[in-house]
Amino acid sequence: MTERFIKNEQFNFISKQVAWIKDSTKQHLPAGVLASVYDLSNEKILNCIPNMTASQKNILDFSKLKTVEEYEQALEQLVNYLLPFPTVTEQQLKKLFPKSKKLKLPDLSNVDLKRLTYLSWNDSRSNKKYLLYELEGQLVGIECTFSPSTKKNICSICHCHGEVTHFSTVTKAKKLNNPDYYKSIGNLICVDSSQCNKNITDDSYLKDFLKESLLK
Ligand SMILES: [Zn+2]
């Protein structure tokens, strides 16, 4: 059985390195410069996942690859090692959002769960946005209000430029020096969360944001 160990955002990060190599080969760079692009990318790929086993390291050791085609093939192979987003039951959903009684999961039949870092959907009846994420092995969820207007800006989650909307969530946490803390936990997020999931190369903002939002 294939041992899955790569998360969506790590896969995106590796894809970005491969794209960088591909771009660099088209730029007629001096051989030495191009070689260092390869070396640097190989190193980033090998170090993007902490605590790997020897066999996992072997899978991510791209230093033996020579051509862009080989890199693209190796990247394609990595799809077999992607960890899918956990399946969510209606019962879990009820537990996560006890106040939203009629809340339903979105239709996931056309969604590739392996390409999700987080699962998010909008409830248009209430202007609420729901976001689920597996935080340190436990499924967590937050409910946000989002503004119906959109603009072009940088998304807080994936750090890419695109169509974003302002979203905010209320926390129970209090900060002694900041009485406005309740209001300040909000940010800009991609309108299209499937695109956001394709862009994200680092989940640290998402983790911090969720930890902060879920503080009691
Ligand atoms: Zn985004």
Helix (H) or strand (E) holding 117: none
What is the pLDDT at residue 102? 83
Ligand 1 centroid – CA 122 distance (Å): 15
Question: How confident is the model over 147-155, as a mean pLDDT?
Answer: 91
How buried is residue 30: exposed, middle or buried, by Cβ count under 10 Å (0-12/13-18/19+)?
A: exposed
SS3 173: coil
What is the pLDDT at residue 127? 79
Ligand 1 centroid – CA 160 distance (Å): 6
Distance of alpha carbon 166 from alpha carbon 186, whole angstroms = 7
Of the candidates 161, 163, 120, the residue with the CA atom closest to the CA atom of residue 144: 120
Distance of alpha carbon 159 from alpha carbon 189, whole angstroms = 9
**CB-based contacts of 173: which residues, under 8 Å, 6+ apart?**
181, 212, 215, 216
Distance of alpha carbon 195 from alpha carbon 158, whole angstroms = 9
Query: What is the band of 46 on the pLDDT scale with cuts at 50, 70, 90?
Result: very high
Convert the pLDDT of each residue in 54-67 to its tens digit: 999 999 999 999 99
Question: How confident is the model over 113-137, as a mean pLDDT?
Answer: 91
Ligand 1 centroid – CA 33 distance (Å): 32
| Paired sense of beta strands 138-146 and 151-154, if any | unpaired
Distance of alpha carbon 137 from alpha carbon 130, whole angstroms = 19
Mean pLDDT score of the chain: 90
Ligand 1 centroid – CA 93 distance (Å): 23
Distance of alpha carbon 185 from alpha carbon 199, whole angstroms = 23
